[in-house]
Amino acid sequence: MTDTTSSQPAPIEIPEGVWSQPAVNMSAVADLESVEAVRSVRAFASMTYDYTPGLATTRFLRAIKEKRLVGERCSETGKVYIPPRGVSPVSGLPTTEQVELGLDGTVVSFCVVNLDFTGNAQEIPYVSALILVDGSDIPIYGLVREIPYNEVQPGLRLKSVWVEDSELTTSFENIKWWAPNGEPDVPASDLADYI
Amino acid sequence: MRDVAIIATAQTKHVRAATATNEVEMIQPVIQEVIERSGVDRHGFDFTCSGSSDYLAGQPFSFVMTLDAVAAWPPISESHVEMDGAWALYEAWVKIQTGHADTALVYSYGKSSPGDLPRVLSRMTDPYYEAPLWPSSVDIAALQARAAIQAGVTSEQAMADIAYRSRTSAAANPFAQLTSSAQPSALMDEEYLADPLRRHDCAPITDGGVAIVLAAGDKARSLCSRPAWIRGIDHRADGHHLNFRDLTTSPSVSIAAEKAGVANGPIEIAELHTCFTHHEPILRSALGLGDDVEVNPSGGPLAANPMMAAGLIRMVEVANRIHSGEVSRGVAHATGGHALQHNLIAVLEGEG
């Protein structure tokens, strides 16, 4: 714990009457009246956790290390979820059937990011998109590159761009970004269920 | 007041660490089981309420991911409390009282294994004066146990007897984590974990969950042959700061017990949220329970303590014994915070 009282910003001026408290009676403690009031205390806290991906996400992560995308199907609706969490959010039942998906996808929605809130991880502007991986029924987030940002639109066909095979791990970061695959755009009407 | 009853229950087999499953995979079978037992259609609940804590998983909005297990599409009326599931039940009970629901699904769960639980629980203390000292849940309980021993409320021997009785009772509980104990005399030979607490005085660290279904009036009677009616329910809190309180008593339990009507009839069993052995004499006294009342026949939290679920499980254990006809009237207690700070009391009864 570190007290960084001295480096704190000045308190915000609050209009009269918005917030008031009775004056604190400090007469019981000698000399307290004359010292500077503590305006804030910064108490650092950190805790360490083990992350348990679970059965379905573990299957997904094992596959992604082999450069494969594997979703899981809802037994009631037939919908395929990626990354799978083990339960279908529509039926509430376990997803038990693994489904091999394609490595290409389609832009469902996107946004052009003009604000550097990732700490220079990407040069702005860049495009963050919701991408429907071939064979799945729910879009995932991805970075779209190798195309001017003002040419990205829903229906754009993409391929996934992966790290070198030697760098593959059990991580979504195996996919560096997504880039146009040259196929014709998918009509917007085909994407209605995914927006 | 509308008549509201627990009509179905289910819980996990509680374990020290459910390392294979994530939270939704852990709780989904329990939710599916309670829905099937209740006879209510999966998409037919008027209200759904859950209890869990992001601090256990170390993951923000972790409860949202477990909503996958309740078939939340098309959209449902749903709520969540960052509290033990007993308070999720309370919210559902209020919802039914307002007339906005006749049936409710309530579940709660906790995976304590990802983090260092006593340290995680230190984050419940006030952020200015106590939290920076990182007092663990066991440290705080030890302060309370010492105060209780000095006040003559209990003794280390009595605490060892409670540990022994609880864990041997749990041998008959198929869901319990700890189901045996050394003799009290042997327990007394163990080293202190935090003086005056020994390991046996502390509830185990547990992963697990629980689910129940509530229904009102004739709906409950049509779905369950012997509903466990909630005849009284109330919750009260003592001061947050430890030094605002006399740790050897629990005024909030006494007030909640009076409001819930504990003394309005004979109590056959009591399931109490005793995370530490010394909680039992404090709660017995605050509830006004006679020496003949059986406490924690399930083994209680000393035998299985899934955080955020162990309080609701107390209500389940009483309800199960009413459903089976074993008892007609019992009291369930749930607690939140350190050293029995916030307490919920429910009186459950069977008919006829």
Taking residues B127-131, report their average pLDDT: 90
Which residues are CB-contacts of B291 (< 8 A; sequence separation ≥ 6)? none
CB contact under 8 A, B25 and A88: no
Number of domains in chain B: 1
Element (H, E) at A55: helix A55-64
Whether residue A54 lies within 8 A of chain B, CB to CB, comes out as yes
**How close A52 comes to chain B (CA, Å)?**
6
Please provide the size of chain A in residues.
195
The model's confidence at residue A1, banded by pLDDT at 50, 70 and 90, is very low
- B347/B278 Cα distance (integer angstroms): 23
**How close A1 comes to chain B (CA, Å)?**
7
**How close A46 comes to chain B (CA, Å)?**
10
The model's confidence at residue A120, banded by pLDDT at 50, 70 and 90, is low
Q: What is the pLDDT of residues B184-242, one digit of tens each?
A: 999 999 999 999 999 999 999 999 999 999 999 999 999 999 999 999 999 999 999 99
Which chain B residue's Cα is nearest to A91? B71
Residue B12: inside a domain? yes
**How close A43 comes to chain B (CA, Å)?**
6
Helices (H), chain B: 23-38, 54-57, 62-66, 85-97, 117-121, 137-150, 156-169, 184-187, 217-223, 251-260, 279-287, 310-323
Residue B76: inside a domain? yes
Taking residues A118-140, report their average pLDDT: 89
Q: Of B228, B4, B234, B2, which is closest to residue B104 (Cα–Cα)?
A: B4
Predicted structure pTM score = 0.92
Helix (H/G/I), strand (E/B), else coil: B84: coil
Residue B101: inside a domain? yes
Q: What is the pLDDT of residues B257-268, one digit of tens each?
A: 999 999 999 999
Location of structure tokens 């009616």: B229
Residue B194: inside a domain? no
Residue B209: inside a domain? yes
Q: What is the pLDDT of residues A34-74, one digit of tens each?
A: 888 788 888 888 999 998 899 999 999 999 999 999 999 99
> With b meaning 16 or more CB within 10 Å and e meaning fewer, what string describes B290-327?
eeebebbbbbbbbbbbbbbbbbbbbbbbbbbbbbeeeb
CB atoms within 10 A of CB B163: 26
Whether residue A38 lies within 8 A of chain B, CB to CB, comes out as no
Q: What are phi and psi of A97, to 5 degrees?
A: -95, 120
CB atoms within 10 A of CB B179: 16
**B166 pLDDT exceeds 50?**
yes
- A178/A184 Cα distance (integer angstroms): 16
Domain encompassing residue B18: 4-116+205-223
CB contact under 8 A, B73 and A41: no
Letter for the amino acid at B19? Answer: T
Chain A to chain B Cβ contacts (< 8 Å):
88
CB contact under 8 A, B67 and A1: no
Which residues are CB-contacts of B131 (< 8 A; sequence separation ≥ 6)? A43, A45, B122, B123, B125
Taking residues B305-322, report their average pLDDT: 98
Residue B37: inside a domain? yes
Residue A190 per-residue DSSP state: G
The model's confidence at residue B312, banded by pLDDT at 50, 70 and 90, is very high
Residue B344: inside a domain? no
In chain B, the percentage of residues whose pLDDT exceeds 90 is 94
Query: Do residues B8 and B37 lie in contact, with contact meaning Cβ atoms separated by under 8 Å?
Result: yes
Which CATH number is B96's domain given?
3.40.47.10
Q: What is the pLDDT of residues B20-34, one digit of tens each?
A: 999 999 999 999 999
- Say if residue B74 is preceded by a cis peptide, omega within 30 of 0: yes
**B322 pLDDT exceeds 80?**
yes
CB contact under 8 A, A85 and B132: no
List B206's β-bridge partners, or say none: B306
Residue B67: inside a domain? yes
- B264 is written with which tokens? 């309005």
